[in-house]
Structure formats: C-alpha cells, structure tokens
Structure 1
Amino acid sequence: MVTRKQTTFKPIFTITPAVAGNLMRIEAVRQAIQSLPITPRVLASLRETARLFSTHYSTMIEGNRLTQEQVVQVIGQEQHFPGRERDEGEVKGYYAALDEVERAAQQREAVTETAVQRLHALVMGGGKTRVRPTPYRDGQNVIRDSRSSGIVYMPPEAKDVSPLMKQLVAWLNRQDDLPVPIRAGVAHYQFATIHPYYDGNGRTARLLTTLILHLGGYDLKGLYALEEYYARALKDYYEALTVGPSHNYYVGRAEADITGWVSYFIEGMAVSFEKVRNQAESESGRGGKDQTKLLRNLDARQRKALALFRRSREATAKEIGAIFGFQPRTAAHLCQRWVESGFLEVTDPAKKSRRYRLNEVYEAMLNNEK
C-alpha cells in the first residue's frame, strides 16, 4: 500500500463568486429568522419536524428502510416494526445524537475528539444516552460499489487516523478567519475522507457539521435539516465528495482541491435556509410573542413535554413518561429533576396521585399563545 508522511491539514479550495453569492443568501436568511416572531407552539412544531426530517434523511442516505411516517412513530410513539429492528436502532441513535448536538451547542462546548467520539457512540447506540466515546478503527476499511463490489474509496490506514483527526480538530479550533459555513463544509468533507470508523461515518460527519454551525451562530432556531438536501439527490452528494485522482487516500486525495465540494455544500445550505425562511414567515403570520430565548433554556425533552401541558394544565409522572416510553421509576426521576431545576412544580404531593404543572414562567409562555 502506498503511504506517505503526514503533514499539517491545509484544505485547498477557492471561494468562487458563486460561493460568495450563496454565503450572502445564507446571511440574509439568518438575519431574517433572528428577527422573525415565532410563537412557542409554532417554534416547537417546526423544530421537532426539522429534527425528524434530519433523522429520517440522514439514516435514509445510509440505506435505512423506514419511511418518514415510520420514523415519527418510532421516535414519538415507540412503535416497533418487525424485521426493522436495525433500522429502528439507527433512527433512535441519530435522534439521540441530535439531542447531544443541541446540548453541546447550548453549553458552548468546544469541538474536541472526545466530543466527536461521543457523537459516534450515540449514533451507534440505538437510542442509548449513556455511552462511552468510541475509539477509532484499528484496521483498514474500504468503501465498495454495492453493485460491482469494486473499491470506490480506500481511506487512510488505521495508524494515521488519530493524527489526522487531531489535525482536523486543531484546524477547526483555530480557523477564525473563514466563514462558519465553509468551516462546517470542510469539516464534513475531511471527516468523511478520514473515515475514522468502520460504520457510522456519514451520519457522524453530518452531525459534526450541524454542531459546528450551531456553535457558530447558524442554528437558525433549530429549524433546518441539511440532510434532506443531500438525500434528495444522493448521486450529486457522493459525486461532490469524490475528489482527487485516485480512490486511494494516499494518492492525491489529501492534496486535492475541494472547491467543488465547498460550492455544493454552501449552495445546499442556502437552499435549505431559504426553505425554512419561507415556511417560518408563513407560520409567523399567526401572531403571538416570540419566546425563542426562553425556549432555548429548555432541553429537547422539556420542549417535547410542552405539548402535553398545552392539552392539560396538570399531568402525572406516568403521563409525562409515556411521551418518551419511560418506565414509571425513570419517569418519576425525570419529573423530580425537572422540579429541582424549576421547570415543573408539584400540585398534589401525595405519592400515589402526585401531579405536576409547569413553572409559572413557562405556563405564562403557553398562555401567551392563545
């Protein structure tokens, strides 16, 4: 196998007029969404739809057979589809990893190798939230054409994966002069190029992209799903990622000009962002007070629980736990943590009939919708 000495990661690309124009489109939407009044009900609905879209399309790219409707049923209703257990695990894992992206962005955590390894562990964890960061692969892997079985891409050897990942993370944390969308696009490309795991590389690359965008202020209130853009034309997605004179990483791939990929990625962001703006502008016409800042204090489960309290002023731990498919003891612990954090208040302290309501701040927020 051809090998070479590792060098500092320096991506090669050109910011073409088309890329510059699409960056301006992205900025225009970003500013419009930040000032657009969206009610808690509409925002929660749009955010959840975007998360489910991200989950469906990102796993579909990798061959997941669940339909969009079935993904909603697996995530929201804990339904099972015989013979689709692996597919169910993939969508649960991706959804759990999206929670982690959102949490890390809210906490303003830096992008580290451990953070990336944790995202991968969640992707492969089947919905488990207690996972250990997964180490990189310890052997060679290859990407083959599903029809001909020919090698499409041969990633770097296992011994080079760790140094390459260190270089990527170091580059991400020192690139303050590049626009955030370009940094995210380069990170997506380089992670897929390194291919540090035997499986789950594509999903983790797309999650890393989302994390970088959110940390950089391009969260767009959590309303977009870039994965849909890729999945709608998979051939274009894979062709944009395929650069260099050879399928072998060591034969030109590391020094390849990735202008084509950067152009593809930035255009995809612009298209996805403008789609969100059009939808959000339509929904915002319903009126109401924008509560984005207050909602950002809530984690994904708390925002999901708001739907229950829209229907009923009070709820039991069992009713709250049913939303997430939790057992009674787990649901009770969750409610206790929410009481301690100030999200919920106890209205009936009796152990057998204990009921909860929202803290007055969040209850007032829901009342403002009506």
Structure 2
Amino acid sequence: MSGESTPAWTVLASRAYIWQHPQWPHWRYDLAQLAAPLARVSQAQGHLLGRLADVGLGLRDRACLTALTEDVLKTSEIEGELLDLETVRSSLARRLGVDVGALLPVDHHVEGVVDMVLDATGKAQAPLSLERLCGWHAALFPTGRSGLQKIAVGVLRSDADGPMRVVSGPDYRETVHFVAPPAARLAAEMAEFMAWAEDVTDATPALIKAGLAHLWFVTLHPFDDGNGRIARAIGDLMLARADGSSQRFYSLSGQIQRSRKDYYEVLERTQKGGTLDVTPWLCWFLQELGEAVASAGATLDRVLTKARFWQHWSGVAFNQRQLKVLNRLLDGFDGHLSNKKWAALCKCSADTALRDITQLLAQQVLIKGEGAGRSSHYVLAALVEPARQP
C-alpha cells in the first residue's frame, strides 16, 4: 500500500471514515476486554527485563543493537523498501558506541531512518512536537524525493493535487483503502494529537496509549509520504516511555512486518468502522506487542550464544572473510551455508571460499551438515544440539 494524492476529492458518503465521526477523536475502548492481554504483555516485559538484568552491560548493548537493527530494517520493509542489513547495523553501532569491527561507509538514506528511530527511542522523554516530527520527516527524505516523485519535506501536506489517499493495485484497477482528513484541518488536528501525547494527567494505560498514538497519527496521515514509518516511531517512543528505558530490546516493527497483511486489514477495518470504539485494534496491537517481546527472548538467546561462541574461540585468529561469515551464521543465516554462498557473501573466488571453509573445518569451528553433493553445507559446531538419549 502507499499514500498518495489524487486529482479530485472522492470521499463517498456511504463510506464514512473514523475521522468523520461527530465525536472524533474521543476514543472508546473496553478496558475489561483488554485487561487480560495487557497483563500478558506486562508479564512478558517483566520477564525479559529480568533476564536482561542478569547479563552484563556489554551484552545488553548488543541486544539493544540487534533490536534496533531489526526495527530500522522492518519499518522500511513494511513500506516495500529494503535496506542493507550490514549498513544499518554499522550505522547503529557507530551511534551507540558498540564495537562490531570494521564500520561500513555512511549511507545517507539509512542514516535518516536511523536518526528517526534513535531520536524516538533514545530521547523518548523529550516532548513530541510538530517541529520534531517534521525533523523526522526531513531525515527520511534527504533528497526531497520519494522514489522519483518530488514531495514536500519537513512540512504538513497541502493537498495541492487532491486528497491524501491510501491505495493499492495498478492505476487502472486501484483499490482505495483510506482517505485522510483534508489538509486544512491538519494544523488543529496535530495540535490536539500532540497535546494528548504530552498530557501528564492522562490516565490512559501506557501500552494502550502507544496503540492509540500509532492509530491516531496514521489516521491523520499528515505528510506527503513516510506516515507509516513515523507512526511506528511514535509508537516506539510511547513504548520507551512505558518501559522507562532509552534502550530497546524488542521490535514492534519487526512483528508488524511478520503480520503485515493482518496489520493493513485491521487498520482498514478500524478506520472505516464508523465507530470510535477501537477495542479490536487495541486487542490486535497488544497481541502483536506480546509476540514482539517473546521474539526478543529468542534474540537475547542468540546474543548470549554469540558471546559464548566468541569467548570459546577467542584464542583463534580468523581472517576478515571468516569473521564476516561466522557473524552472519550467529545472527541467523538464511538457508544453508555452502561454498557458493560463502563466495557470494565475501565477494571472493570459489577457491578462496573453499580454503576459508577448509581451515574452519580443520579447527572444528565448522562441521559438515547432513547431505552430500549439491546438498553439501556447513554449520557452526558450537550450535549443534547434542543427540538426545533414548
């Protein structure tokens, strides 16, 4: 899906959007129905933070780096934009002061997304203002273009070419999923949104406020492009406030990407529902948040495994190609590692790849996986599970 402008206003009277409700934006939700999912998420968060309290500062930093890397990658991937994993990780490591070896050259587009995510999470207690959001938007589009299209950057949309619509499909058979409020209303709408976000007397539970903030902002759709990414950054800011920590150890964007189809469907149902009761949206949001926290537990397992691996092999000298591939295996390699994949990953010849692999086999860092011929592949010896006794 994408947000774009169209030549003429085409809001159908029979298809009222949530922002057209007479009582907008006075949200309603059933707190009794949300009590159980709220408790489950809070319990999962407590368990994760308890585990993190038992590991050293260095490992917590690496767990944070892993979570933020996923957040930056996935918030862009949801919009169909694929960023380079190593470039994102390098950019974050540079900012966070985490040693990951050689750093890659700066990519200004990646830097913009990283800037936004780090500002949202690392400075969560700073007031949310229009100036701040416009700064995030400018960071996302450093060239002033979205793809080939020139857009207004760092300012609210003007609707000069017609209303803001969220559409999918080809031009000749497009589906309109949502039409955003007119640009003339945006200044007042954004002022009300930010006043609510910064209202310290508001008794809304923190996790529910994060879900409402995401929904509210993406419904306003105040910029020419990038609204989904900024909405998720606002949600992350609210979650960081709820956690009371500037470090992030789970990625809601990562979970939303895994449930992308459901995300768009529940968002569309909520925005076209004709009611301000957003209980179903909040139920979905809390469910996905719980999954994100659970996934962070698995990420922490990988971080700990990686630390134990490098501690075990600390006395062995590896070349840069070997270090790169071993780290990729530890971070979660897609598919099986073969000689061909090694050569492609390291941009080296097949002979060089074979020499690197043969050396690691001799040192018993790698072992051969099951299979022969074209199915021949290699796995980390330290990650092989021991055979279960009958």
CA distance in 2, matches of 1:145, 1:38: 45
CA distance in 2, matches of 1:114, 1:215: 20
Paired residue for 1:143, among 143, 157, 166? 166
**Structure 1 residues 266-300: Cα deviation after superposition (integer angstroms, max 9, x where no partner):** 1111111122245437766989xxxxxxxxxxxxx
CA contact (8 A) 1:123 1:200 kept: yes
**Structure 1 residues 128-153: Cα deviation after superposition (integer angstroms, max 9, x where no partner):** xxxxx922111132111134323221
Q: Which moved more, 1:211-220 or 1:269-278?
A: 211-220
CA distance in 2, matches of 1:194, 1:49: 31
Paired residue for 1:275, among 259, 275, 295? 295
Runs of at least 5 residues in structure 2 that lack an aligned partner in the other structure: 1-10, 14-18, 94-102, 144-152, 309-390
For residue 194 of structure 1, what is the amino acid of its counterpart?
L
| Secondary structure of the structure 2 residue equivalent to 1:12 | coil
Q: Which moved more, 1:151-160 or 1:166-175?
A: 166-175
**2:281 matches 1:258:** no
Once the two structures are TM-superposed, the CA of residue 222 in structure 1 deviates from its matched residue by 1.2
Match in the other structure for 2:25: 9
Match in the other structure for 2:265: 239
Taking structure 1 as reference, are residues 137 and 57 closer, same or farther at Cα in structure 2, changes over 3 Å only? same
CA distance in 2, matches of 1:279, 1:103: 20
Aligned residue runs from structure 1 range 338-349, under 5 A: none
| Secondary structure of the structure 1 residue equivalent to 2:243 | coil
Scaled by the length of structure 1, what TM-score is found?
A: 0.63
Once the two structures are TM-superposed, the CA of residue 66 in structure 1 deviates from its matched residue by 3.5
Match in the other structure for 1:169: 194
Match in the other structure for 1:29: 44
CA contact (8 A) 1:229 1:272 kept: yes
For residue 65 of structure 1, what is the amino acid of its counterpart?
L
**Structure 1 residues 69-90: Cα deviation after superposition (integer angstroms, max 9, x where no partner):** 564467664459xxxxxxx654
Match in the other structure for 1:368: none
Once the two structures are TM-superposed, the CA of residue 115 in structure 1 deviates from its matched residue by 2.5
Aligned residue runs from structure 1 range 14-93, under 5 A: 14-17=30-33, 19-35=34-50, 36-66=53-83, 68-69=85-86, 71-72=88-89, 77-78=103-104, 90-93=109-112
For residue 192 of structure 1, what is the amino acid of its counterpart?
V
Percent of aligned positions that are identical: 21
For residue 41 of structure 1, what is the amino acid of its counterpart?
G
| Secondary structure of the structure 2 residue equivalent to 1:205 | helix
| Secondary structure of the structure 2 residue equivalent to 1:142 | strand
Once the two structures are TM-superposed, the CA of residue 8 in structure 1 deviates from its matched residue by 5.8
CA distance in 2, matches of 1:219, 1:241: 28
Q: Which moved more, 1:40-49 or 1:71-80?
A: 71-80
Once the two structures are TM-superposed, the CA of residue 263 in structure 1 deviates from its matched residue by 0.8
CA distance in 2, matches of 1:213, 1:5: 28
Paired residue for 1:214, among 240, 248, 251? 240
| Secondary structure of the structure 2 residue equivalent to 1:216 | helix
Runs of at least 5 residues in structure 1 that lack an aligned partner in the other structure: 81-87, 127-132, 247-251, 288-370
Question: Which structure has the greater CA radius of gyration?
Answer: 2
CA distance in 2, matches of 1:160, 1:166: 10
Aligned length: 267
Match in the other structure for 1:159: 184
Match in the other structure for 2:142: 125
Match in the other structure for 1:202: 228
Match in the other structure for 1:111: 128
For residue 25 of structure 2, what is the amino acid of its counterpart?
F
**Structure 1 residues 20-59: Cα deviation after superposition (integer angstroms, max 9, x where no partner):** 2221122223333444222122112111111110011000
CA distance in 2, matches of 1:238, 1:5: 21
CA contact (8 A) 1:9 1:171 kept: no
Taking structure 1 as reference, are residues 206 and 226 closer, same or farther at Cα in structure 2, changes over 3 Å only? same
Match in the other structure for 1:95: 114
| Secondary structure of the structure 1 residue equivalent to 2:123 | helix
CA distance in 2, matches of 1:283, 1:58: 22
Once the two structures are TM-superposed, the CA of residue 113 in structure 1 deviates from its matched residue by 2.5
CA contact (8 A) 1:56 1:68 kept: yes
Match in the other structure for 2:354: none
Taking structure 1 as reference, are residues 70 and 256 closer, same or farther at Cα in structure 2, changes over 3 Å only? same
CA distance in 2, matches of 1:257, 1:157: 23
CA distance in 1, matches of 2:66, 2:83: 16
Scaled by the length of structure 2, what TM-score is found?
A: 0.60
Match in the other structure for 1:338: none
**Structure 1 residues 211-262: Cα deviation after superposition (integer angstroms, max 9, x where no partner):** 111123354841111111111121101011113585xxxxx65x43222211
CA distance in 1, matches of 2:248, 2:268: 29
